[in-house]
Amino acid sequence: MRNIVIAIDGPAGTGKSVTGKLLASKLGIQYIDSGAYYRAITYLSIINHIKLNEINKINEIARNLKLNFDGENIMLNNVNISKEMRSLEVSNRVSLLAKIKPLREIITEKLRHYKENGSLVMDGKDIGTVVFPDADFKFFFTSDINVRAARRQQDLVDYGYRVQIDKIVNEINKRDEIDMTREDSPLQKATDAIEVDTTFMIIEEQVDLLYKTILQSVNLEDIKK
């Protein structure tokens, strides 16, 4: 039995989270949404009126942050913040905050601790490159921008937000640009990651592809839960 780490990275709206969640449950292991950390800190900075240049205050929030993943929900001190975290206000600000190097170090450290609890699937932007460069499996999801925006619009409807498609295209394009060009741990495909273009795929196919790829080199019984 051994701990295995599965990293899924890629731009916004490529289906990383939903695939990661289903894959983890199929394998019987933990799923961690690393973006939830960046989003939760952004949300807390907004409600506490903390400006982007108040880096010490932002880092303080990050150090004290304890998130729990309760199935579909992201819990912060027993409060479900899943909806608040996905607001357009948070999305428009999160990448600016995610550029802060010391903040990334605090979060990366927290993310690495999950490995102590057993095997895991983690999705994000720098999982295969920085958080777990030795991950057993690395996937990099890509997808056409219009498909990504439509998926994100549906996610937002599910959370009770109505946002026009052009606003979403704009938001994800801007965020991807900042994420890909930042100095510290930019969003990029790890050289040893398998690229998966999800434009014409449905969720079940994505889960199946990853599941089969993993089981080609590991026995299910050997995966530590």
Place of tokens 């549906």: 154
Determine if 100 is a binding residue for ligand CDP (CB under 6 A). no
Please tell me the distance from the alpha carbon of residue 220 to that of residue 107, in angstroms, as a whole number: 30
Q: Which of 104-109's residues contact partners 24+ apart within 8 Å by CB, and which partners? A: 104/184, 104/185, 106/59, 106/62, 106/63, 107/34, 107/37, 107/38, 107/41, 107/62, 108/185
Residue 100 Cβ vs ligand CDP, minimum distance, rounded to whole Å: 10
Pick the binder of ligand CDP from 81, 98, 100, 210 (CB under 6 A): 98
Q: Is 94 in the site for ligand CDP (CB under 6 A)?
A: yes
| Residue in 35, 62, 100, 103 binding ligand CDP, rule: CB under 6 A | 35
Question: What is the rounded distance in angstroms from the CA atom of residue 146 to the CA atom of residue 162?
Answer: 17
What minimum distance in Å lies between the beta carbon of 34 and ligand CDP?
4
Question: Which position has the token pair 């801007």?
Answer: 174
| Contacts to ligand CDP from residues 139-178, by CB under 6 A | 175
One of 6, 7, 12, 169 touching ligand CDP (CB under 6 A): 12
Q: Is 124 in the site for ligand CDP (CB under 6 A)?
A: yes
What is the number of other CB atoms lying within 10 angstroms of the CB of residue 221? 6
Among 95, 129, 153, 198, binds ligand CDP (CB under 6 A): 95
Stretch near ligand CDP under the rule CB under 6 A, chosen from 121-129, 139-147, 204-212, 216-224: 121-129
Q: Is 62 in the site for ligand CDP (CB under 6 A)?
A: no
Q: Is 135 in the site for ligand CDP (CB under 6 A)?
A: no
DSSP state of 130: I
Site for ligand CDP (CB under 6 A): which residue of 24, 32, 38, 138?
Answer: 38
Query: What is the number of the residue whose Cβ is closest to ligand CDP?
Result: 35
**Given the complex with ligand CDP, which of 23 and 98 has the nearer CB atom?**
98
Contact call for residues 160 and 83 (beta carbons, < 8 A): yes
| 3 state DSSP class of 69 | strand
Collect all residues with Cβ–Cβ distance below 8 Å to 182 and sequence separation of at least 6.
Answer: 95, 98, 99
Select the residue interacting with ligand CDP from 15, 29, 34, 115 (CB under 6 A).
Answer: 34
Query: Is the sign of the CA dihedral 155, 159, 165, 170 positive or negative?
Result: negative
Which residues would be at the binding site for ligand CDP (CB under 6 A)?
Answer: 12, 17, 34-35, 38-39, 94-95, 98, 124-127, 175, 179
